[in-house]
C-alpha cells in the first residue's frame, strides 16, 4: 500500500486550501469556527463566488432563447458546465446530464417518470434502511398514487448493508428498480454499489444511485459503475445551492416521459398536441439556474485541481483519526463502521455519528456550538434508520477537504468538556 503522504500528494497544502475559504477564519461566540457540518452543506471557495459574481455582472441573460450576444455567451457557459459535469462523472454524452435543483429533485424526477411509464400496481422498488428521506418519501408518494410496493433492505448492527447474496433474496419478478445510497449521510458507510448494479442487471433491473454524499469525496465513473441513474447536489461539493445533476443512460431517458411542462422542454405546442425537445432539454422545463451551473462547473474545477484521489485519502485519514480519538471518550457510542478501510476497499468516509452516555444529542450539539464547533444533531432526515438503531438522533461530525486533525482534537476536547457538565 502506498504511504499516506504519497496517496495524498505533495501538492495538498491544507494551509493554502483553507485560505480559499474565508469563512473558516471567522469566529463564533468568540471562538475560532470549526465547521464540521459538511454532509449538510460545504463552504464555497472564492473561485466559485467570483465566477458567479462575474457572470451576474457581465454575462447575465436568459439562455437558449436569445440571438443577442449576452444570451449566447450565457448559453455557452451553461452548456460548458454540462460538458464539465459529463467529464466529471465520465458520462458518454452531455445528453445524459440533466440539471436539477439537487439530489432530491433528481430522485423525484425518476420516481415520478419511471413509475408513470414503467410500473404498475404491485410492482416493487427496493431501497435500504439507511436511506435519506429523499430516497424514501418520493417512492412512498408513488406507492400511495399508483399502488407500487416499497421494500427496504436491512443493515447489520454495525451499520453495513447486507451483502449481494442477501440482496438477491429480496428480488422478485415484480422488482422494477433498486434505488440506493452510495454513502450513508449518517453512518458514512460506503455501499458496494458496483456489486449491486452487477446483481441487478443480471435480473434485468435498473439501478438508481444517490451520490449526494459520495460525489464530493471520491471519483465517480458512471460508465464503469454501469448504473442507470445517478444523482448529486452542487452545494455538498463546494458549489452553490439550488443546482444538482441527474445522470441517466440515454436509452432510459428516452423512454421516460417529461417530468414538468413549460418553456425550454418543448419542440412544438398547439391546441391539438405538444411535442417535446430532445435530450437533455426534455427534462429541463423553465429557465435554469444558469449562473449556478457555472458555479458548479467552477467547483468541479476546484475539486479536480486539488485532486479527488488526494481528497479521498486525506478525508479518510481524518475519519480514521476522528474515530480513534473519539473512542477514548468514556461513554462514547459510535454508529456505523468504527474503523476505516481506505483505498479501493473503502468502507467508511467523512462522516462520524455518535452519542455520549445519556446526554441528549441536542444538548451536546448546542453546547459544542457555544465552543465554536458546528456539528449536526437530530435524525439527519433518516428516521427509519434511527428506528433501526433504536435511537431518536445522533450528533454528526462530517469532514471536508479543508478540515484538520487539530479541529478534531478541539472537537474531542469539547465533547469531554460537555460530558463533564453532565
Catalytic center residues: 381
Residue whose grid cell is 445510497: 181
Nearest residue to 188 via CA among 368, 374, 308, 334: 334
Vertex 186, ends 183 and 191: CA angle to 5°? 25
Distance CA 365, CA 261 (A): 43
Q: How far is CA 87 from CA 23, 82, 249, 376, in A?
A: 30, 9, 15, 32
Helices (H) and strands (E) in the chain, counts: 15, 17
Cα-based torsion angle of the residue sequence 79, 84, 86, 87 in order, rounded to the nearest 10 degrees: 150
Distance CA 263, CA 238 (A): 30
The DSSP annotation for 225-277 comes to HT-SEEEEESGGGTS-TT-EEEEE-HHHHHHSPPSS-SSSSEEEE-SS-EEEP
Distance CA 260, CA 46 (A): 34
Rg, the chain, Cα only: 22
Amino acid at each position: 500500500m502506498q504511504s499516506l503522504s504519497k496517496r495524498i500528494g505533495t501538492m495538498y497544502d491544507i494551509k493554502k486550501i483553507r485560505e480559499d475559504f474565508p469563512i473558516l477564519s471567522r469566529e463564533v461566540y468568540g471562538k475560532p469556527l470549526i465547521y464540521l457540518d459538511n454532509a449538510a452543506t460545504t463552504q464555497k471557495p472564492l473561485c466559485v463566488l467570483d465566477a458567479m459574481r462575474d457572470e451576474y455582472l457581465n454575462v447575465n441573460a436568459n439562455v437558449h432563447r436569445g440571438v443577442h450576444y449576452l444570451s449566447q455567451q450565457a448559453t455557452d457557459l451553461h452548456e460548458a458546465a454540462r460538458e464539465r459535469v459529463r467529464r466529471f462523472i465520465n458520462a458518454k454524452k452531455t445528453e445524459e446530464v440533466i440539471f436539477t435543483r439537487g439530489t432530491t429533485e433528481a430522485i423525484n424526477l425518476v420516481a415520478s417518470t419511471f413509475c408513470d411509464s414503467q410500473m404498475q400496481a404491485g410492482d416493487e422498488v427496493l431501497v435500504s434502511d439507511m436511506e435519506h428521506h429523499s430516497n424514501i418519501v418520493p417512492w412512498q408518494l408513488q406507492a400511495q398514487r399508483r399502488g407500487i410496493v416499497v421494500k427496504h433492505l436491512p443493515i447489520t448492527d454495525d451499520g453495513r448493508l447486507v451483502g449481494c447474496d442477501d440482496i438477491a433474496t429480496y428480488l422478485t419478478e415484480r422488482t422494477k428498480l433498486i434505488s440506493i445510497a452510495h454513502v450513508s449521510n449518517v453512518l458514512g458507510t460506503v455501499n458496494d454499489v458496483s456489486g449491486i448494479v452487477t446483481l441487478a442487471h443480471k435480473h434485468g433491473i435498473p439501478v438508481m444511485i444517490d451520490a449526494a454524499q459520495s460525489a464530493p469525496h471520491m471519483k465517480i465513473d458512471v460508465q464503469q459503475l454501469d448504473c442507470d441513474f445517478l444523482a448529486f447536489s452542487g452545494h455538498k461539493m463546494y458549489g452553490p445551492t439550488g443546482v444538482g445533476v441527474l445522470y441517466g443512460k440515454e436509452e432510459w431517458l428516452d423512454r421516460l416521459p417529461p417530468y414538468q411542462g413549460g418553456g425550454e422542454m418543448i419542440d412544438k405546442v398547439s391546441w391539438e398536441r405538444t411535442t417535446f425537445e430532445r435530450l437533455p432539454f426534455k427534462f429541463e422545463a423553465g429557465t435554469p439556474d444558469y449562473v449556478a451551473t457555472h458555479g458548479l462547473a467552477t467547483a468541479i474545477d476546484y475539486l479536480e485541481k486539488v485532486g479527488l484521489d488526494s481528497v479521498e485519502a486525506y478525508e479518510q485519514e481524518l475519519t480514521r483519526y476522528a474515530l480513534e480519538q473519539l473512542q477514548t471518550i468514556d461513554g462514547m457510542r459510535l454508529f456505523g463502521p468504527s474503523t476505516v478501510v481506505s483505498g479501493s476497499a473503502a468502507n467508511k468516509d467523512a462522516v462520524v455519528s455518535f452519542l455520549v452516555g445519556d446526554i441528549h444529542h441536542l444538548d451536546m450539539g448546542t453546547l459544542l456550538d457555544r465552543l465554536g464547533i458546528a456539528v449536526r444533531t437530530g435524525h439527519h432526515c433518516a428516521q427509519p434508520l434511527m428506528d433501526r438503531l433504536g435511537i431518536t438522533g445522533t450528533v454528526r461530525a462530517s469532514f471536508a477537504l479543508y478540515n484538520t486533525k487539530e479541529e478534531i482534537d478541539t472537537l474531542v476536547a469539547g465533547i469531554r468538556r460537555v460530558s463533564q457538565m453532565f
